[in-house]
Structure 1
Amino acid sequence: MTPAEHDYTGRTFGAADFRDRVFDTPAIFTDCVFTERPDFSGAVFKARVFFTRAVFERGVDFHETTFEKFANFEDVAVTGDARFTGAVFETGLLLEHAEIDGVLRLDRVQFHETRLMGPLRAKEIDFRLVVFHRRARLEFVTGLVRCERASFYGGVQFQLDGADIILKDSELGPASRVATYTAERERYGRPARRPRLVTVSGTDVATLSISRADLSACKLMHAHNLDLLRVRTDDAFGLTPRRLRLARREVIGDEVRWRAEHGGGRRARERWRPPVDWPDVEAPQLAGEVVKTYRALRKGREDSGDGPGAADFYYGEMEMRRLGSGRLSREQWRNRSLRGWTAATGEYVLLSLYWLVSGYGLRAWRSFTALAVVVALAAAGFMTWGFPAKVKMDYGDSFRFTLRAATSLLRGTEAQLTPTGEWIELVLRFLGPVLLGLGVLAVRGRVRR
């Protein structure tokens, strides 16, 4: 076969069958138009191949094709799917400014030397079981990038515009990153959109950093080394649903899904219902799984010196412990396990009190409000039962005495009390400093860096 026999520049093909063909010399399909779906399955390109500006009107099939030399797919246009399943690219690949209105199937493809792919547009990109032997930069405008059991030995940078990305059971090399792709906003005529991670379950994220990406719906459970995940975006996570509360906190998608499925009564579950545009991901079954996820994220922020950021994850961790123990208590009661019910109920009551009076030591207003209520009630108790009948005190005098008794810094002279008054004073001198200390610690936790 002579070199001229492999030059198809500008030709129009109908049903083109190149299955198992061996191209020993450069193959040139520049500016070709394929009106039917061409089949290159099993073909071997031993020399360079050029599909520059080629048009595939009904898709194209490169199933298990081998490209031993440089392959150029610049500016190709595909109507339908472009299938490269099981292909091997032994040297370079140029796949940029491609327009694919179907799925770009790159599952089980071996990229030995490819370092850059894109920018390109596709409806969906399938990277399942793909292997990149070199560090790669991937620039895509797409709806979904599916990386399941994928391997990026040299690391990978995903530059994505508006894509959902699945990173499940994948191997990421050093300095991997997911970020928003902004360089081609003029080409596509609109502002860039942040990519959204759907899951990192089963993936070691120790080398992964997130920059200008959305983690609000991400399934983080079962990811490895989650405490080493680096999130460079302040608003990467979602916020708790709006209600009559003074503060909203960061919340992970795993908690949202668990609460929507298992979190109390119908109204509570409805309030935590995920938005309709969230990806369909199975809800956690056990609150303890979400607790472990929050604990790892909290450790990561503490190690990076972000105390206020770690506080939100600590609050989420404690909330899931409280709700999980409450659910376990009900299950143990139905199973008639007295020992299990007692342990779970005790933990639930203790955590509920901790939540109510101080927001797990993170809501200063709750501690100070609880302290004010305790002082007001104790003052009424002192006025009614606390002083002997011969001692005349109105509510104002009783309130001042109560306030002195509730703190260690403003204690005045001892007053004569009835036995009931002494009991009230004992409880007050225990609760007062505790609530005051919780409030001070909550303030310190919010302002420290």
Structure 2
Amino acid sequence: MFEGGACGRPVYNTPVGVDGELVCLMHSSDPNKDQGAFWEEFERILKLAGEGIADFSGFVFPEADFRDRTFTPRCIFRGAMFTRRANFLGAMFTQEADFWRATFKQKTVFGAATFTQEANFSQATFTQRADFGGATFTQSADFSSAQFSQRTDFSYSRFAQIARFTEAEFGQIASFSNAKFENYCSFSQTTFRGTAFRQATFTQGASFGGATFTQGADFFGATFTQRANFAWATFTQRANFLLAKFTQGANFARATFTKGADFTEARFTQEADFRRATFTEEAEFRETVFPKQENDSDRPGAVFTLARFEKPEEVIFYQTDLSRVLFHNCDVSKFLFSNVTWRKRPGNDKNMVFDEVVSLENENPSALRLPEDSPDERNYSLVAELYQQLKKNYDDRRDYWTAGDFHYGEMELKRQSSRRRNPLLRWWHRNLGLAAWYKYASEYGENYLRPVGWLLVVVALLAYLFPMAGLSPRISLQAPYQNVLASATPKLGYWQVLDHSLLTALSVAAFQREFVYEPIYPWGLILRLLELPLTSTLLALFLLAVRRHCRR
């Protein structure tokens, strides 16, 4: 009995082999016992309890019909056994209802029941169907370690306070469709064999950490107002999160999706964490909403770091904003990115990845952090590897424009990365190194207008400098000259001198060996030797950029 109390009732004359020990009528498992006497004693206990404790611990109930019944006392059914149908449809418990380790052998109905105080079904066993549809739990509801062998229905039920289903086991489909969890709920380590949380509402935190879904998991249209935890969860069949809403972040770290995951039109207002998650088959993120670039832009909106996709060609991101998504340490070379939005690079509006600029003070980009003695600010090589994968991805799909943006990003990281510890040498590498000049000249081969502009500048500058260094005509002129001041005579004007000098500069740029006006040794020759590699390099960069654009 409850709290170690003695039964105190007369010993029932139990048939041989039924109970195995001396018990009273209320505790006897004899299916032929006097039901009239049983219910008479039950009502006596209930009436005598008033608003105190009605102790039915260990009672063995025949078929029980409590439809629309109001239980005023605190009802203790600990270890009770309901051998036949138990019907609590519309029942009301005004005080605690304690069914700890109770066993329900036949169909059990608590539909539309109201539990005003705590409801304890911890370690209870439901052998047949269990129906809690439309039930209201005003205070805490504890179903931890409960066993549900057949179909279970909690649809349209309401949990006003904490709901615990930790380590519960559902043998068949469990429906929580349109259920309302107004406080924290825990399904940690719970085993589901088919479950539906369609349109369910989780107002406070919800934990499915370590839960196992051996059949389909349906969270269509579910709403998680606070953080949702699915870390270490296992989805053996398809996981459906279509139109689900996550307002305060969702944790799918180390979750396993064996038969596909569908997050189509799911909405993540805060961070969605898929670190080290495993996707064995397809994964769909069609029109999935992640936090955008303009909102709290230094924090990740979604994290796929170290996530493993065993069929990457079946992973699709369609019409999704990826401006705050981390992909480093995740091979994205075969993903399908269709009509997605990447982060925009300040200054030139090229596509870039969030991994390049994410604040390292956050928890998730830990792989981007380097030891304190490292000269670089972050792991540039890791982000460059991501750019290489994205470049290959878009190149393979012949989207060369976007691939060019990621080529630019890869080169930017190579320019910024340096093993030099000396600040001056690092500055030199980043601003005057070979990669830096490649950027200045043509944006790493992505801009064909820039080398043309620089080419015009070089030619114009040399056209101005050649007369100062001196030019010697190969043909007879009315007024030979050696510098721009001497040449400015009535016979040969200033602009005509520059015209001749421009002709010389163009001849050098065009690789001509013979000139109408020969630069005079030594400074003219030096300018000529300087112009030749500059113009040829710029011309090569122009042709390279044109080739890339024509290929597009």
Band the TM-score falls in, shorter-chain normalisation: 0.7 to 0.9
1:41 to 120, 136, 144: 144
1:361, CA displacement in angstroms? 1.6
Measured after TM superposition, the shift of residue 138 of structure 1 is: 1.5
Q: Structure 1: where are the runs of 5+ without partners?
A: 182-192, 262-277, 335-340
- In structure 2, the partner of 1:202 is 306
Instruction: Tell me whether 1:84 sits opposite 2:84 in the alignment.
Output: no
Report how far residue 365 of structure 1 moved: 2.9
Question: CA offsets, 1:163-182, max 9 Å, x none?
Answer: 4321100111222121336x
Which residue of the partner structure matches residue 435 of structure 2?
351
Corresponding residue number in structure 1 for 2:396: 303
Matches within 5 A, 1:34-433: 34-90=137-193, 92-123=194-225, 124-139=227-242, 140-143=244-247, 144-159=249-264, 160-163=266-269, 164-180=271-287, 193-194=289-290, 197-205=301-309, 206=312, 207-223=314-330, 225-235=331-341, 237-241=342-346, 243=347, 247-257=348-358, 281=365, 284=369, 285-325=378-418, 328-329=419-420, 331-332=421-422, 345=429, 349-388=433-472, 390-391=480-481, 394-407=497-510, 414-419=516-521, 420-433=523-536
Change (3 A) 1:447 1:161: farther
Cα distance in structure 2, aligned partners of 1:49 and 1:257: 45
Q: How many residues align?
A: 404
Q: Which amino acid aligns with 1:198?
A: A
Please state whether the residue corresponding to 1:148 is helix, strand or coil: coil
Provide runs of 4+ in structure 1 moved above 6 Å: none
Give unmatched runs, 5+ long, in structure 2.
1-81, 88-107, 293-300, 370-377, 474-479, 482-486, 488-495
SS class of match (1:231): strand
Distance 1:103 1:232 in 2: 33
Q: Distance in 2 between matches of 1:346 and 1:352?
A: 6
Deviations 1:382-432 (A, max 9, x none): 111141393456112211321232135x99855333123233223323222
> Which residue identity lines up with residue 231 of structure 1 in the other structure?
F
What TM-score, normalized to structure 2? 0.68
Counterpart-to-counterpart distance in 2, 1:93 and 1:167: 22
Contact 1:323 1:348 in 2 (8 A): no
Query: Match of 1:178, SS?
Result: strand
Q: What TM-score comes out, normalization by structure 1 length?
A: 0.83
**CA distance 1:279–1:210, shift in 2 (3 Å):** farther
Q: CA deviation at 1:31?
A: 1.4
Q: What amino acid is aligned across from residue 286 of structure 1 in structure 2?
A: N
Equivalent-residue separation in structure 1 for 2:430 and 2:131 (angstroms) = 76
Is the Cα contact below 8 Å between 1:210 and 1:231 reproduced in 2? yes
**Mapped partners of 2:307, 2:547: distance in 1:** 36
RCO higher in structure (CA 8 A, sep ≥6): 1
Give 1:58's aligned amino acid. Answer: Q
Which residue identity is paired with 1:240? R
Structure 2 SS opposite 1:174? coil
Alpha-carbon contact 2:322-2:340 (below 8 Å) kept: no
Question: Residue 290 of structure 2 contacts residue 302 of structure 2 at CA under 8 Å; is this kept in 1?
Answer: no
Residue 321 of structure 1 and its aligned partner are, at CA, apart by 0.9
The answer to whether the 8 Å contact 2:134/2:157 transfers is: yes
AA aligned to 2:333 is D
Q: Secondary structure at the match of 2:263?
A: strand
Q: Report the alpha carbon displacement of residue 279 of structure 1 after superposing the two structures with TM.
A: 9.3
Residue identity (%): 23
Amino acid at match of 1:293: L
SS of residue paired to 2:273 = strand
